[in-house]
Amino acid sequence: MNPYIEILRPGNAMMALIAVLLMAIIGHTYNWEIILGAITVFIATGSGNTINDYCDYEIDKINKPYRPIPSGKIELKTALYYSLILFIIAIIMGFIISIENGVMVIICTILMIVYAYDFKRRCLIGNITVSLLTSLTFVFGGLITGDVIVSMLIGLFAFLMTLSREIIKDAEDVEGDLREHAHTFPIVYGKRNAIIVAVILNILTCLLSPILYILNIFTISYLVIVLIADIIFIYSAVLALKDQSKEKLHKISTYMKIGMFIAFISFAIGSII
């Protein structure tokens, strides 16, 4: 893969793009603003991933040496300039859609930059910031479709799922974070305690999932499909409690990402069938 595409972490950025398209499906709104909005969040998320890699250069040399910057595929300063250019492009595109969307891109841009430079190394604040950014992608789409309240409810579930996964990822990266004197949740309170919190969040997400059906936001088909995601989240929780090794936590993080994707599918299916 081209390193300038790889550094965007397109799989991760695609999740943000899908969030906007999901709001289009849920709101039955299909127009050029939705397409532009989906591209905007993809670029904004990719630029956030790039500035994050720029700031995490030393940590990634230990935790993820295969990434474009530590592997030497992209120069450190080049990555910084690349990220800033992408941020500017995303902001301009946001304002083309609407003033509200443009302001939201600016807010998210500030959050991503502050996260990369500071919040990431702070106990729980970094995890909450990433989770908030994930939930705001749905609200961004809701601003376009006019379904702001629904997008906020869905964003809440995205927030809980992401927060759990972010804590798991921090538990996975303890070794490199310790060398950089980071104060992540697993470092401050212990890896097992962090895992327990992540498990509680997983269970809470599963328990709350029927609410979107009870409130008549989605049909019964949503419940059937989201049950699969719930099973994956519970399975991930059980695995995490049994084994906190770096390798196992990496697999668990992947499982949770799959669970989130299935949950997203349940949102779409539940709104049309």
Q: What is the pTM of this model?
A: 0.85
Give the pLDDT confidence score for residue 85 in this predicted structure: 93
Domain boundaries along the sequence of the chain? 3-272
Give the pLDDT confidence score for residue 178 in this predicted structure: 67
Give the pLDDT confidence score for residue 96 in this predicted structure: 94
Give the pLDDT confidence score for residue 180 in this predicted structure: 64
Measured between alpha carbons, how far is 156 from 161 in angstroms, rounded to an integer? Answer: 9
Give the pLDDT confidence score for residue 261 in this predicted structure: 85
Give the pLDDT confidence score for residue 102 in this predicted structure: 94
Give the pLDDT confidence score for residue 45 in this predicted structure: 93
Give the pLDDT confidence score for residue 219 in this predicted structure: 86
With tokens 């992608």, the residue in question is 137
pLDDT tens for residues 135-158? Answer: 999 999 999 988 888 889 889 988
Long-range contacts of 81-85 (CB under 8 A, 24+ apart): 82/4, 82/7, 82/47, 82/50, 83/47, 83/48, 83/50, 83/51, 83/54, 84/47, 84/51
CATH class of the domain defined by 3-272: mainly alpha
Measured between alpha carbons, how far is 75 from 223 in angstroms, rounded to an integer? Answer: 47
Q: Are 92 and 209 in contact (CB under 8 A)?
A: no
Taking 50 as the pLDDT cut, the residues of the chain under it are: none
